[in-house]
Chain A
């Protein structure tokens, strides 16, 4: 585990950077809270996997890459799509299944895409996007660019064959990809300890002689620094990394699932919330006098407004026209 980042001796410009991290975490937290409400009201259908509790991972990691790098994510990816550059309104409209959604209303919560910002999904089969990410990294090598691929997945994906096949080839062919495991401890309702013979995900890398690191996934600055190191390794040495961020999800696996119950206790959940990534950064910023209470309130207000605008945009966005059913099956 890395040390908690110290903010006391920050150079000029760093405060703004921390503010950005905080703002992004607040934004995606509020987005998810409101998405949960919209789901309960029947405005969002199907499966909807919320990210609340894990914000430090997507925010820290996505601030460590360049705009021309590629991002792949699983089905718990609303936050990743937004931080990668997708307008919150386009994400919310996608959850609403509307034409203005980032996938035209045809992908839904699990299949967000935004090619303009190199956000390449949004994949619903556990572990199946790891080879896709390696494929994009292969393309970087093939073309001789220095683009890096950042691939997010949950800890339950490390037991599936695609994970191992992909890590082997990524190491063998020296592909510039960062495999970022968001270990939130539960694959749906099955604890990692009940599903894996090896409980430290990062140790899986040794099978493939791959660089690895584990990081406190509730500490946005630690995630940022760890990802930056892995991205540098990928960009400069073309080497992959398995990075394990230990985090926690506050909500159920999806909106259809209980928040706690047979597989975890309410007490465990409450204890984990004491590590809340947003509160942690807030405390640090206040303690180090890098932000005032008033500024924080102002930021919360802005974020609130941005999410409300996203909801309004989604609500006002039209349904896809009937003919959309048969478009985009094949490219002419």
Chain B
């Protein structure tokens, strides 16, 4: 199977869906002539011309709303935010227009749109450019929220998102664009709302998504080698809808759980996972569920402070030792 980067997997998804459906178009800052701020849209302007690959001014609220308006009359826009940090300017259109239109129109107006772009911290970009906002959007009924970790999932989920008749918030990992993985040629989709067990294990469940899948996998390798602890890694892939079934099944097997996410702790994705587990797997738990998150602070610039703020394998291992009473 061909090995491609996360970036190119996304590019393939866009290219194939634009080939497949003339209603699909890509709009955003620098997506055309510049070939994408992160080169996700490389070559698309040449392939589909400026009618379908549209460079915008820096006006997130405006072009997000134009996308929603186009979706209201049946087009299937893919709106690229250069990063999700800038998408905060557009949150009114994502929440008040896209998410609510179907409901407040009494079912008359679906909004088949994808809002996509990189989220999460990169390296030393400081407070305003380093944040994982999954839980903001996952809070809102009417939105679907996905955050793939691998090139395979990135391609399959983006294709599923474009074909979905609902607004999908598609969070890419800024640090994942160069990640490589096997991606089959041709058409396939990964269903939204289905988690994936990335590594099987029997002693503890590590729940993660996007960039923290790698963190959890590294922790799992070391747990096996250093402590003889078998960790199961469950990649949520979709935050909303949340695949509670897979989470609960795993925890019923391992009886212990650590949730790893890049967002802040308060009202985070992990808080929702813990809520599900205490209701649906209470009797299976041998220890309180712990969470490894970003520190509850705006991201500092200093390299050492930044490293201390982000989830890492050491912190995951420490949490696993706690839930396994190994300390």
- The interface of chain B, by Cβ under 8 A from chain A, is 25, 51, 56-57, 59, 61-75, 92-93, 96-97, 101-110, 141-142, 144, 165-166
Q: How far is the CA of A103 from the CA of B72 in the complex (A)?
A: 15
Query: Would you give the 0/1 interface string for A114-147, flagging 1 where the beta carbon is closer than 8 Å to chain B?
Result: 1100001111110011111111111100100000
Given contacts A135-B68, A166-B65, contact A105 B59 (CB under 8 A): no
Q: How far is the CA of A303 from the CA of B284 in the complex (A)?
A: 68
Measured in the bound complex, the distance between the Cα atoms of B108 and A332 in whole Å is 13
Are the CB atoms of A142 and B70 closer together than 8 Å? yes
Q: Which of B51, B59, B110, B144 meets A168, CB within 8 Å?
A: B59
29 contacts between A and B (CB under 8 A): A101-B106, A104-B107, A106-B106, A107-B105, A113-B109, A115-B108, A115-B109, A121-B101, A121-B105, A123-B97, A128-B92, A128-B93, A131-B66, A132-B69, A132-B72, A134-B62, A134-B65, A135-B67, A136-B70, A138-B66, A139-B69, A139-B70, A139-B75, A162-B61, A166-B62, A169-B62, A327-B107, A328-B105, A330-B144
Extra inter-chain contacts (6) besides given A136-B70, A142-B70, CB under 8 Å: A131-B64, A132-B69, A135-B69, A139-B70, A169-B59, A330-B102
Cα distance A161–B89 in the bound complex, in angstroms = 10
Interchain CB contact under 8 A, B92 and A103: no
Please list the 10 inter-chain residue pairs (A to B) with the smallest Cβ-Cβ separation, ordered nearest first. Answer: A135-B69, A131-B65, A104-B106, A165-B62, A132-B69, A113-B105, A165-B59, A328-B107, A103-B106, A135-B66
Instruction: Give the residues in chain A near B66, CB-CB below 8 Å.
Output: 131-132, 134-135, 138, 166, 169
A266 near B: Cβ within 8 Å? no
Is A331 engaged at the interface, CB distance under 8 Å to the other chain?
yes
B103 touches A329 (CB 8 A): yes
Q: How far is the CA of A78 from the CA of B70 in the complex (A)?
A: 24
Partner of A330, one of B70, B96, B109, B166: B166
Give the contacting residue for B62; candidates A111, A113, A125, A168; CB below 8 A: A168
Residues of B within 8 A of A328 (CB): 102-103, 105-107
Judge whether A131 and B68 touch: CB under 8 Å.
Answer: yes
Does A172 touch B at the CB level, under 8 Å? yes
Interface contact A131-B61, CB-CB below 8 Å: yes
Interface residues of A (CB under 8 A from B): 70, 72, 101-107, 111, 113-115, 120-125, 128-139, 142, 161-162, 165-166, 168-169, 172, 327-332
Q: Contact check, A106 vs B104: say whether CB atoms are below 8 A apart.
A: yes
By the criterion CB–CB under 8 Å, are B96 and A128 in contact? yes
State in angstroms the CA–CA spacing of A312 and B108 once bound together: 24
Cβ–Cβ < 8 Å partners of A169 in chain B: 56-57, 59, 62-63, 66
CB nearest neighbor in A for B75: A139
**CB-nearest residue of chain B to A113:** B105
Contacting pair A132 B62 (CB below 8 A): no
